[in-house]
Each structure stands twice: as structure tokens, then as C-alpha cells.
Structure 1
Amino acid sequence: MFTGRAYPGGSATQAQARRLATTLRALLAGLGQRAVLGLTEEQSEQHFADAARALATSRVLGPA
């Protein structure tokens, strides 16, 4: 799904796309747990959007 997608620094390789999918899954799982616990008002939707965008950087994705 993410392989070949452009991001600042190039386009995602298959290995980078796997890492991104794993980290986004973890981010969404955390969001789901916060919702179950009723903690969603403390963290804005913007916080999670910013976190997801931050994951799609060459520094986080690692080497191609």
C-alpha cells in the first residue's frame, strides 16, 4: 500500500513501507485504547495526525 509513495526524501521502498505500516498500526492501536479508556479529549485529533505525518520521514523510515 505504501511502497512507491512519495515522502520528503524520496519514495518508500518495500522495507520502508512495511516499517511505516507497522508504526501506523501501533499508532492507531494506541488511539483505540485511548478511546476505550475515555481519554480522547486529552489528546486532539491533530496530535495523532501530526504523529502519523512525522512517521513518514526518512529519519524514521530508515535507509532504503
Structure 2
Amino acid sequence: MPRVIVYPPDEQGGRRVRADGEILGLAYSLRDVAALFQMAGLPEVDELDVVRADWVEWRGGGPDVWGS
């Protein structure tokens, strides 16, 4: 699996998602993070995978932090 970083929320609550150095997009929920993985060619990844995966590094708060 790729090494994934989910960055802290921006002013609008979006979190940038990067995999192996490439920006996948901006997510506003766990569903969005899973959708970014699916669009990147990992169709089997769902929200539970995103929360439990040891290959996802959450910066600025865990998977329950999406805005101020």
C-alpha cells in the first residue's frame, strides 16, 4: 500500500490527502478520503479501512477532525 498523509484541516475544513508524494485531492470527510483512494486505483478501500490503516498518517488530528 502507498504511504498516505492526511494533512490538518484548512479554514474550510478540507484536508489535503497525499499518497507517495502525490496529492490525491482535498477531502471533507472519511467518505471523501476513501473516494480519493478509489479514484487512484484502490477500489476496495472504504471508510473503515481509512480509519484502521497503519499506512495512513493523520496530521493535525485523527479521522474525526474535519473543521474548526
TM-score by length of 2: 0.27
Larger Rg: 1
Higher normalized helix content (fraction of residues):
1
TM-score by length of 1: 0.28
